[in-house]
Amino acid sequence: MPKVLLLNGSPRPKGCTAAALAEMIRVFEEEGVDCELVQVGGRPVRGCIACGRCGELGRCVFDDPVNETAPKFREADGLVIGSPVYYGSPNGSLLAFLDRLFYSSPFPKHMKVGAAVVSCRRGGNTASFDVLNKYFTISGMPVASSTYWNQVHGFTAEDVQKDLEGLQTMRNLARSMSFLMRAIADGKEKYGLPSLERGAFTSFPDGK
C-alpha cells in the first residue's frame, strides 16, 4: 500500500489549507493510500544555522519537529506540502522547517512523489507554489500535477468549500499522485531506480 505524508504549514489546523488537504485525504483513502497528516504550522521551528552537524549526526542538531518528521518522510512514498500564502510566499516557519528537513535528513528522496498545495484569499498563490516545488525538483522527486495549479481560494475554510474548481483540483491531484506512486513502485520492481551521479560539485574556487 502506498503511503503519503501530508504537511500542514498553516498555524490553523482547521483552516483553508487544512480544507484542501482534507479533500485530498478523502480521495487518497478511496484509492487505498495510507495517509498521515503532520501539523507543522504553529509549532516552534527555527531556521538552519549552517553548522554542518547534520552531516556527522545524520539528523538536525536541533531536536524539534524536524527530527520527529524525518522518519515519517523516509518511510513515505509521497509528500504533500500545504501552505497558506503570506506576502506572496509560503509560511516562513514552514520554509524554515523544510530547509532543515530536506538538508539534514541523510536518506535519498529520489523518486518519492511530491505535491505542493497553496491556499490564499486572492493573490500570491503561483509564487508560493513555485517556491514549494523547488524542494522536490532539487531532490529528484517527481512532481504530481492536476488539472489546474494546486491552489484553493478563500478567507475561511467555509469559503474554500465554495471553491468548487479548487476542490476538484485537489481531488484530481490526489488521484494523479496515487497513480504515480504505484507506477514508480512497479517500475522500481521491474527496472530498478535510475542511477545517480554525485561526483561533480562546482563552486568556482578562486573565481575560476
**In this structure, which topology does domain 3-193 adopt according to CATH?**
Rossmann fold (3.40.50)
Q: Are the CB atoms for 108 and 194 separated by under 8 Å?
A: no
Tell me how long the chain is: 208
Q: What is the pLDDT of residues 56-71, one digit of tens each?
A: 999 999 999 999 999 9
Burial of 122 (0-12, 13-18, 19+ CB in 10 A): exposed
What ranges do the domains of the chain cover? 3-193
Burial of 55 (0-12, 13-18, 19+ CB in 10 A): exposed
pLDDT grade, residue 207 (50/70/90)? low
Q: Which amino acid is at 63?
A: D
The pLDDT assigned to 208 comes to 52
Q: How many CB atoms lie within 10 A of CB 189?
A: 8
Please say if the pLDDT value at position 206 is more than 70: no
Is 0.85 topped by the overall pTM?
A: yes
The pLDDT assigned to 104 comes to 97
Q: What is the pLDDT of residues 14-32, one digit of tens each?
A: 999 999 999 999 999 999 9
* 90 three-class SS: strand
Q: How many CB atoms lie within 10 A of CB 121?
A: 14
DSSP lists the bridge partners of residue 139 as none
Q: Which amino acid is at 128?
A: S
